[in-house]
Amino acid sequence: MDSTQLSVTCIAPVNIAVIKYWGKRNESLILPINDSLSVTLSTADLCSKTKIIADAKFTDNVMILNGKEENFENERIQRCVKEIKARAAELGSCPKELLEWKIHIESENNFPTAAGLASSASGYACLVYSLAQLYDLKKQEISDIARMGSGSACRSIYGGFVQWQKGIQLDGKDSIAFQVAPASHWPDLHVLILVVNDSKKKIGSTSGMARSVVTSELIKYRVEKCVPQRIHSMTQAIKDRDFSKFAEVTMKDSNQFHAICLDTFPPCVYMNDVSHEIVNYIHEFNRTEGETKVAYTFDAGPNACLYLLEKNVKRVLSFVNHIFPNDNQKSAEYVRGIPVEYESEDVNEFQNYPQYEKNTLKYIIHTKVGEGPSRVD
């Protein structure tokens, strides 16, 4: 270690909720009105990467995000940095003067923003995890601090299956994430993200959920009655590796989340006609296959995230490729992430399903459940 400079580089994963987070009880601390539960995705295919250099000679704090300088005074960044430093100071985990050095942060995502995937979860998880490495807070709970950057970031602090408990304390100290099961518990849980071509402006999730809390009447019932039961069923499904149950609760909760958005006034609409077609096709597919082989879930955008078992990837992908033909169908640029070996053509197998117009999907990402953040330098 150069005595006047310290550097860490870390990666952190994306997570996709199966029980959705929607609605805050405290806007500034980012405290949710309900528990949520997510699957952490493999950093091999999707991740944020953050390098932090602390240097005694730096005169300014700097934040560069995907090659562009960000305002370091951004409230959420400030809160994360301040909270991590306070924790380090309190515990004396690192030399005091290190906490006074300015830092240069460079962060990037290995997936395009255009993918419509929430990069804030992996981004803030990576920022907070990297800061914790820098200030030697390695064994400390930091999901509550990641949460202050972006709510769902707290779930990206852990790998595998992660629950964010809403907590009941006013200061949010108990609004933290914990691992329900590690990735190794169910390693054959795979994911296909169908990135839909869409140009529509949409309501940001922060303002969307604020509007839902104020105007939706149904959200009260969801929060009080539906989510607790679903968290329970989902946890059990994960423990039992019961894909059919996992899929059912995932699909129902995605639908209910979008129902709440529609019950908001004015309504927030995130799914589009293509999203709804995907939903129809998946129900149809599961029915004709005679078992639930695939589940959909949609966040605050039109892209579908499909959960499925590894053994069914090839078949489901053939189905998706039939429905949504693409000029680059089998190129690695169209189907990204974990490579899929295509067997012989079974072109006619899905011929009863009408096809959508070509290139309706931008591309597909094939990935799987994965580990939490890690240091890579």
> For binding to a second copy (CB under 8 A), which residues are involved?
217-218, 220-222, 225-226, 248, 251-252, 255-256, 258-260, 262-267, 269, 272-273, 276, 279-280, 283
Q: How far is the CB of 284 from a second copy (least distance, A)?
A: 9
Closest CA to 41 of 337, 364, 354, 351: 337
Q: Regarding beta strands 335-337 and 361-368, do their DSSP bridges make them parallel or antiparallel, or are they unpaired?
A: parallel
Complex with a second copy: residue 51 or 230, whichever CB lies closer:
230
Q: What is the DSSP string of 127-173?
A: HHHHHHHHTT-TTS--HHHHHHH-GGGGGGGSSSEEEE-----TT-T
- By beta-carbon proximity to a second copy, the closer residue of 267 and 325 is 267
Please say which residue, 176 or 294, places its beta carbon nearer to a second copy: 294
**Under 8 Å between Cβ of 248 and 292:** yes
Nearest residue (CB) to a second copy, 17 versus 260: 260
- Least separation in angstroms between residue 280's CB and a second copy is 8
Smallest separation, CB 73 to a second copy (Å): 32
Query: Toward a second copy, which CB reaches closer, 29 or 251?
Result: 251
Nearer to a second copy, 109 or 256 (CB): 256
**Least distance CB 215 / a second copy (angstroms):** 8
- DSSP-based three-state secondary structure for 198: coil
307 Cβ contact list (under 8 Å, min separation 6): 18, 39, 189, 190, 191, 246, 247, 250, 294, 295, 297
CB of 202 to a second copy, least distance (A): 10
Alpha helices (H) along the chain? 75-91, 119-134, 143-149, 205-215, 218-221, 227-239, 243-262, 273-289, 313-323
User: One-letter amino acid identity for 298?
Assistant: F
Least distance in angstroms from the C-beta of 76 to a second copy:
28
Contacts of 92 (CB under 8 A, 6+ apart): none
